[in-house]
Each structure stands twice: as structure tokens, then as C-alpha cells.
Structure 1
Amino acid sequence: MTEGPEELREPSDSTTVVVIGAGPAGLTVASLLRRSGIDCVILERLTRGRVAQRQRAGIVETRAVRMFDSWGLAEQVLGGAPSDGLMEFRVDGESHLVSDDDGSEGPRARLYPQQVLVQKLTATYLADGGDLRFEAADISLHDLAGDRPTVRYRTADGTLRTITCAFVAGCDGDHGISRATIPDGVLTAHAFDHGIGWLTVLADAPPPARPLLAVSPHGFAAHFARGPHTSRYYLQCPPEARPGAWPDNRVWEALRTRLADPALVPGPITDREVFRLRSVVHEPMQYGRLFLVGDAAHIVSPLGGKGMNLALHDADLFARAVRDSVHGHDDTGLHAYSRRCLRRVWNDQEFSHWLTRTLHDAGDDTHSGPFQRGLARARLDRLFTSRNAARTFAELMTGLDFVPDVEAHDGPGPVARGSAPAGD
């Protein structure tokens, strides 16, 4: 690419890692790198206010809580009381409590809205002297296959800037520039459409005591806490449905019916949208000096709460791989990053797929037929009555089921502060 005089004069600086995106994945990557004594810069196209208010996942699984704890970050970035570990499955109005207690010792999962985690990670990273640049427009990645990639962007005042680095962490989600920059033919996308739609509703209404998943002939529904006075609801609907077809009265009527709760307290609905349940895995998760982290590499169906937690797992592996390369001159983790991440990605995809099919097939047999409905009901019955089935479910929910890749856990802990990151 030929550069003109103006481009040659644009301000430039350098760092070890440029992180694209200031969501949970990017902020975790940058925070762990800072803990390892490695300099980095985060570029985020949105304003700080917009980033801080994006509402998504609400569960930090046990494995991720222990990961933050092992890096010495849990106290700063995780608030609130630990979850009691119970989920309620309500089948045709009958309640069944299922625990995620797998018998292990240590900190437990947290019911913790994503926007609060992002706010805490942002504040901690900046207080630690981190470099976070909001409103970075027109981001472009160059020379990713070389030894010193460059990242160009435009500041809020219109100034063009260039950063030279050793690594780029693509943490900018499914529609970001990072994955789009990779040349055609390098990545393989494995996609699955569940053929199911969800109406998701955010309301200022009393949250449930614990996560609630409901199955009935009227369709799937769920109720989750998103704060002390806020709830997130989900209603199964056709994938092509429009939010406008679900006025407030219809939403509350459907929720009371499917949740088997005639006394459900309504509240002002602040957001509603329809999305299609889908799963995608892109592999490999690296190209040259670019490493994809979180949603930039994979999307998982929401059931099971694995999306954000997979991103946190990727961030942990990437930060340790960079640490080992920079401080130990050991590139084993960098070369194996994609393989190690994808082992857990496929593991969690399978769990999420299992839970998605089970809860939807068990309710409305018009989509999958009475035979699949019978199979799904049998799986639920086994979960509620078999100690071994419940234990397996608990291990999958906590994220502690996974047999670690021994190679991924060699070497010392973080160089600057904290103890060695926990295993998978």
C-alpha cells in the first residue's frame, strides 16, 4: 500500500499489545496484561458512557470468578454476593431446583450484570495507569503477518494516529473490524441456526430470587435478575417476529402464563428486541499476530450463560501466552492459542446446544414433534432425579468440568502482581 505525505506525517507511538474493543473480553485482556507488567493500548469506537451501559450477560461462572481471584482482581472487579448456586426449572408449573454445587472448594459464581463488570474493569484498568482510548474511529489493521503490525485510527478530534505493536487482540465482537481484516480463505466458519427466536425484554420489575427457566406447551420463557430492581425476560417466538407485535399487555400475559405465575409483578419495559438463536465458531482463532478473543471468534446460544464466560477464558489464555512470550521467550502458548481455546469453545457449545434443544423441545412439540418432546422430557426427568446427571450439569454450569490442557498451565504466574492463574 502506497502512503501519501499526509499519512507519513501522522502521529505514531508503539506498545506491546493493541486491544481492539473495550467490552469484557478486551478489558480483561488488558487488565491481565497490566498485571503481568506488559504495556498495551485499548481502542474503542464508542464513548465510555455507551460502553458502560450495554446490557448483556448476567452470570460470571465459577471458573471465571476463580480466574479473577487468582490474578488478584476479584475484589476490585466483582461485587455483590455469590450466587446460592440454584437454578429453578419450572415444568408445566411444577418447580425443580437444580444446584451448580460440584463439591469443589473456592469462590462461587456471581449473578453480575455485564455492564457492572465492564464499569468495574474500566475503573480498575484506568486507576492502574492503563491506556484506554474511546471514540477511536476508522480503525484499520495492517501487516498482521509481519513481526510488527500497525493499527491506524482517527481520534475524536479527527487526528489520524498509528500504533506499532507486537500483537493485536481482536476483542470487538461478531461485527468488528478484527475478524473482517483476516484474508478470505484463512478462517472456516461453522454455523448453526436453531430455528428459534426469542423476544428479550428488559423491565424495571422485581427480579427473581434465582434464575428461572420455564417449560410449558405455550413455549419457553425465562426470568433473570439484571440488578436489584431490574429483570430480563425471554419469550420463545418465531425467529421472524417483530418487537412491535409484542405490546406490553401481550408480554405480561405471556410471561404470567408461561412462567405459571399469575401474580407476576409488571414494570415499565425499557427495551425489547427479537433475536434468532444461533451458534457460530470461526477457526483458527489467530492469524499472524492477530488473536481473536470472545465474540469475534465465536457466538454461543444464550442458554447456559457461556458467551461472556468463554470470552473471559480466551482472555486468560491469551494474556498468559503473551506473558510467557514477552518475559519467558516461550511462544508455545501463542502457537497453541487457537487449539486450546477451541477445546473449551466446542465443549461449551455442546452444553448450550443440549440445554437449548431440551428446554424448547420439552415444551412446544409443534416445532420438533412429539417424539423429540418425549426425549427432551426424559432428559429433564433424569436431571431432576439422578444424582450423577445433576453432578454433570453442575460441572458444566460452573465451567469446572473441563480437563485442562497441561501445556497451557506451565510456567510462573503473573510477573508484576498476583498469583498464578487458575487452571480450567
Structure 2
Amino acid sequence: MKNGKKILAFILAVMLFISPVSVISYAVSESDMKSKVVSVAQNEVGYEGTGSYSKYGEWYGYQGAWCTTFALWCFNKAGESLGVKLYANIVPSGGNCNSMISWFQNRGRYHKRGSDYTPKKGDLIFFDWSGNGSSQHVGIIKSVSGSTIKTIEGNCSGKVKEKTYTPSGSKPYANISSIMGYGAPDWASVASGSSAPKTTKKKTTKKQTTAKKKTTTKKQTTTKKQTTKQNTTKSKTTKKAETTSQTTTTTQTTTTTTTKPAVLPKDMKLHAATTELQIGDSVKLEYSIEPNNANAVIGYFCDEENIIEIKKGGVITATGEGVATVVVCANDEIYRQMDFTVSSVSSQITKHTPDTPLDTFETSSQLADKDFNQKLRSIGVDAKKLTEHSKYYIIPLYIIGFTALISLAIFAVKKIAKAIKNKKEKNSVD
């Protein structure tokens, strides 16, 4: 009797195992994901870094201007919280503003301002402050009401801020005219469209799966034969060649293939002879892909087009003073970046003729200035911006300096007067 019960239990267990198993998966809706991304960004409002340092850069592994890394960090954090993959899936895995725009364009999900597209909560919003057709800043859309757009942006003067853009806002930093376009993440690719639990059938028998694949292949083959019969002898030859090619593709999709798949890049490194340039200098930014036999489409991007110009083959030409970040991407998946510092041409060189050889040397004062600027950048101080905004602090500095000089003069006069008085008293005693 006991043996009979054991056998019956074993049979029931086997039947349960080979039968379709009902798997409950809790779906995440598009609305949930959008709200979570905005919520994560909202919680960061008030965070303060510097112009070139942030905790988001620590996460990404690169320190520099961090409006892009802030946006990507928010998507990563939201995805982890919801148990779905958002970062490097519906948004790129890195890059700068212009490379991110390219990433969305390649997927048909970038929309220029002024198009029929209505921006939505959770979209990435790209800005062109200078009006030169290149983006210099990105944020996350919090809400849209008519022509008013509210955003949350990283690296706004070194802080995470909530901002509002309207048609009547001050230009360029609060006016919709500075908006270049919108990157619309493909939320539907990772969402079910409903937050309610959904039941899916998981097939555990290999036989059922194989039968489904065979049916699909047979159906495709029959269709191709019918098409072939309707054509002339010449057409038959062509159609046979096409059918063979397509059948191979089907086999690759459903079974193990005999053809070698394309080798994808796993890593990329950048190389440049120097990153310290003077206006007019050029240097080639080269890259190496690992593994060496990998196939990759390479793109170069820079947000600071007023500082450097990128020419064919990755040739970098310095056009203006400042620090510019060049991003190189492989297959829209691997992103690496390098900073170039551009300074003005030495004022000591005033004339050069073909008969006179031109030798340029950095003076000790130039080296000291460069060293000083590098030290300022290391603590997050942008010497160029200090110079640009000198009007805000130069007059107070003059007043402080003038006051200090007057104080020193008064102090000196008092000292001299006291010394004269002491001398007179001494003479009168004598």
C-alpha cells in the first residue's frame, strides 16, 4: 500500500513538471516608469557638486560636466528600483548631449522642437544655448502644461535644479526657444501597459517548442515556392537564390547556425599625442577596439564646438579657449571620452616669414599659468568662467584693495607722527 502511494505521488509530480506552468509576473506600466524616473530626479534637487565633479560621475566612472551622467543615473536608479532595465536600454549607456541625440535619432525617437511631437513626462530634453545647432545641455521633463515645460536638470551651476521654460521666459535659460529637441525613451519595449499582475504560460517541454519552429519554417518555404512558380525561368533562378538566403537567416534565428556571427566590440581605448593645445593646433584622436577583429561604427561628438572642431578621421582642431570634452562611441553602445584644454597662442610670437624658422617655447610664466589653471580645475574652479564673469567681482575687489591701501597709509602716518612726537619729547627732556 505504501509503495502504491509513493508511485502515485511520483507520477503526479512528473505530470505537474511536464505540464504548462503558470508563471505570475508583475508588470510595470509606462506610467509607473515615467513617474519613478521623475521621482528619483526630484529627490536629487538641491544636490551640489562642482562644474566638473559629482557623485553621478563617481557612478559613471568619469568626472567632468555632468548633466548627461545625472540623467543616465536617474534612469539606472529608477530601473533598479522597479526591477526593469532602463539604463543602456531605452536610454544610451553614456556619451554627451550630441551623441545622445544621435542615439535617439538612430532609433527614430528624436523629435525636434517645432515638429508635431508633444513632449511628455520622462522625456529627455536637449538645449542649444548658443543657437549654433549643437546641444550643450540635457535635462529630464517633469511635466508639460500647454507651452510650459518643467524640467529637472543636473549641473546647473554645479547643482541639481528644477526649472521652468515658457515662451515669455528670459532668454536663453528660461525660454522655450533654447530647446533643441526631445529624446523619447521606448517605454513600451519594457512595459506591459498595465500595472496589474499578468499570467504568462511557460512551456517546459522541448517538443512543443520544436514543433512551433518547424511549422513556421515550412510556412515560409511554401510561400516562396508559390512565388517561384508564377515567374519565368530567369525569375526562377533569382527567386531560388533569394529563398536560400532567407532560409539561412531563418535557421540562424531558430537554431544554432553554422555561419560565424559578427564579432562585437567589448571595449575601446582612446589615444592622443597631447590634450594640451593652443588655438590653431591639431591633433588626431585615435581609438583601439577590443577584440581587434571586432566590427564597429565609430562616431565623434563634442558639445563645445566653439572650442574645438572635429574633422574627418578624428582630427581635433583647436578654435577657441577653454576645456572641451570629445566623446567617441562604438556602435551606439560603448562610450569613451577625453578632455582637451585649449589656450591662446603665445603673445611673444608676432611675425613669421618663410625665411625665418619658427621655434615656439613656453615661458616660465605660461607654464605657471597653465599649472595654476590645472590646479583650479582639479578643485572644480573654471578659470575661464571666472574671467567671463569678472564684472561681478572686479569692482568689489578694487574697493577692497583701495580700502586696504588707505588703511595702510593711515597706519603709516600714525606711526610716523608717533615717532616724531616721541623724538620731540626726548629732545625737550634733554
TM-score, normalization by structure 1: 0.26
- TM-score using structure 2 length: 0.25
Larger radius of gyration, structure 1 or 2?
2
